[in-house]
């Protein structure tokens, strides 16, 4: 479950034993797997792989840690046991599960079960189901089955249903994902604004990158690094409307979040970016509020990383996220840029409300 990695890693480094039972982690440098909360030395991130069950860890060649004994771990909290069972069933693309009936069978209200699920797993039930299906689909796409078969196997039923519900979540059409982005035409343009150059790139489906900086050529070079297999074409005419919206967004006047997007990211990142796009002009959220809105209140650090990884400035307005003490926090394109953007947006909001 690659897309839950941020949440799980956060649990490992904070030694959070309350989520023990919902996953285990293997350490490749030692060959040992542990449960969350193990007091052995913290592993390096690059040496850690996550498994949803101990069986998978054993099958992958890891042996159980003698200190935390993940294989003998009895889950005493019946709510945790119910959540773990629900995960197993949601992961199975062939199963359709009624959450309300499942909750009732286990003696919980649906609301309570959903809340416990989000707390323990890191994402809400609906998101987990989609992630599990996406993961299953990506796994199938990497092997040599046809795209159509992979889509059916992932439980989408038909390619039509997948294209309607799944493609935007993967950030690109499935065939393109399998080809590593090769063969894609990406148009770009740039505009000079009071905060520097803004370079925007878009596929036929939507904006795929927005970069801000003092040097136009550097920004364009970075774009080439980001899409090495795509055909990158400067096309000012094609993107004239997009550029107009972005110029307005820099002034704090236009809402760039309504532009269509075609972003690539993990399911977790995509979800955070979606939530970011709902933060209105003139408002700011703290990282904790954003984590709350995302349905993952304990994954503040992972949410902050997703903000930092945002490939499309302005369109995904990560500049509207600030620290709890009111200071700006970080911004990939420069703190002075962030400050200017927020000032312009506040001024607009004040005009609108007066
Ligand atoms: Zn251990």
CB-based contact 317:256 (threshold 8 Å): yes
CA 11 to centroid of ligand 1, rounded, Å: 13
Alpha-carbon distance 246 to 195, whole Å? 12
- The sheet carrying 48-51 orders its strands as 48-51, 24-27, 32-35, 63-64
Neighbours of 227 (CB within 10 A): 18
Q: Is 253 helix (H, G, I), strand (E, B) or coil?
A: coil
Told to judge if 68 belongs to the known catalytic residues of this protein, a careful annotator would answer: no
User: In the structure encoding, which two tokens stand for residue 205, read together?
Assistant: 């489906």
Contact partners, residue 42, CB within 8 Å, separation at least 6 = 12, 13
Alpha-carbon distance 271 to 258, whole Å? 16
As a whole number of Å, the end-to-end CA separation of the chain is: 49
CA 32 to centroid of ligand 1, rounded, Å: 8
pLDDT recorded at residue 320: 95
Rounded to two decimals, the pTM is 0.54
CA 34 to centroid of ligand 1, rounded, Å: 4
pLDDT recorded at residue 182: 62
CB-based contact 122:8 (threshold 8 Å): yes
CB-based contact 12:42 (threshold 8 Å): yes
Per-residue pLDDT of the chain (354 residues; tens, 9 = 90+): 345 778 889 899 989 888 887 888 988 888 899 999 898 888 988 888 888 778 777 877 788 898 888 877 665 667 777 887 888 788 777 788 899 999 999 888 999 999 888 877 777 888 778 777 776 665 554 443 444 454 455 554 444 444 444 444 444 444 444 344 567 888 999 999 999 999 999 887 788 899 999 999 999 999 888 888 888 899 998 888 889 889 999 999 888 887 878 887 766 777 888 889 888 888 999 999 998 888 777 788 888 888 988 999 999 999 999 988 888 888 889 999 999 999 999 998 888 776
Alpha-carbon distance 250 to 198, whole Å? 9
- Distances in Å between the alpha carbon of 111 and those of 100, 104, 108, 272, 314? 9, 11, 8, 22, 35
CA 84 to centroid of ligand 1, rounded, Å: 20
Q: Which of 38, 87, 307, 318 is catalytic?
A: 318
Cα 343 to chain centroid, rounded = 28
Instruction: Please report which helix (H) or strand (E) contains residue 189, including its range.
Output: strand 185-193
Q: Torsion over CA of 336, 340, 345 and 351, rounded to 10 degrees?
A: 150
Alpha-carbon distance 112 to 214, whole Å? 50
Q: Is 35 helix (H, G, I), strand (E, B) or coil?
A: strand
Told to judge if 318 belongs to the known catalytic residues of this protein, a careful annotator would answer: yes
Number of residues written out for the chain: 354
Alpha-carbon distance 4 to 128, whole Å? 9
CA 126 to centroid of ligand 1, rounded, Å: 31
Q: Is 88 helix (H, G, I), strand (E, B) or coil?
A: helix
User: In the structure encoding, which two tokens stand for residue 238, read together?
Assistant: 């094609």
Cα 228 to chain centroid, rounded = 22
Alpha-carbon distance 267 to 134, whole Å? 8
Q: Checking phi first, is residue 329 left (phi over 0); if not, alpha (psi -120 to 50) or beta?
A: left
Environment class of 294 (CB within 10 Å of its CB; exposed 0-12, middle 13-18, buried 19+): buried
Alpha-carbon distance 258 to 237, whole Å? 20
CB-based contact 137:3 (threshold 8 Å): no
pLDDT recorded at residue 137: 61
Contact partners, residue 168, CB within 8 Å, separation at least 6 = none
Half-sphere exposure of 131 (CA within 13 A, CB side): 21
pLDDT recorded at residue 80: 77
Q: Which of 34, 65, 208, 307 is catalytic?
A: 34
CA 36 to centroid of ligand 1, rounded, Å: 8
């Amino acid at each position: 479950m690659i897309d839950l990695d941020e949440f799980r890693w956060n649990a490992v480094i904070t030694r959070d034993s309350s989520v023990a039972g919902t996953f285990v982690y293997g350490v490749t440098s030692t060959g040992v797997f542990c449960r969350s909360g193990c007091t052995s030395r913290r592993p390096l991130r690059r040496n850690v792989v996550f498994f949803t069950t101990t069986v998978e860890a054993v099958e992958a060649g890891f042996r159980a840690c003698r200190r935390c004994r993940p294989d003998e771990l009895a889950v005493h909290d019946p709510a945790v046991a119910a959540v773990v069972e629900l995960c197993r069933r949601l992961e199975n693309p062939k199963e359709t599960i009624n959450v309300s009936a499942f909750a009732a069978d286990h003696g919980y209200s649906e609301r309570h079960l959903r809340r416990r699920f989000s707390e323990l797993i890191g994402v809400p039930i609906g998101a987990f189901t989609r992630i599990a299906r996406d993961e299953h689909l990506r796994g199938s796409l990497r092997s040599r089955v046809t795209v159509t078969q992979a889509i059916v196997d992932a439980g989408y039923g038909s390619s039509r249903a997948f294209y309607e519900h799944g493609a935007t979540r993967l950030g690109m059409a499935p065939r393109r994902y399998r080809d590593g982005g090769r063969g894609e035409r990406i148009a770009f343009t740039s505009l000079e604004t009071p905060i520097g150059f803004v370079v925007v790139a878009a596929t036929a489906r939507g904006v795929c990158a927005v970069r801000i900086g003092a040097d136009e050529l550097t920004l364009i070079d970075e774009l080439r690094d980001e899409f090495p297999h795509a055909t990158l074409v400067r096309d000012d005419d094609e993107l004239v409307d997009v550029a107009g919206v972005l110029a307005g967004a820099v002034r704090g006047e236009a809402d760039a979040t309504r532009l269509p997007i075609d972003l690539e990211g993990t399911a977790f990142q995509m979800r955070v970016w979606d939530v970011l796009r709902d933060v209105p002009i003139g408002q700011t959220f703290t990282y904790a509020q954003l984590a709350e809105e995302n349905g993952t209140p304990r994954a503040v650090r992972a949410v902050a990383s997703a903000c930092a990884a945002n490939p499309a400035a302005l369109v995904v307005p990560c500049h509207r996220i600030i620290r709890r003490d009111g200071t700006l926090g970080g911004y990939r394109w420069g703190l002075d840029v962030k400050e200017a953007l927020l000032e312009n947006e506040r001024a607009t909001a004040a005009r609108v409300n007066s």
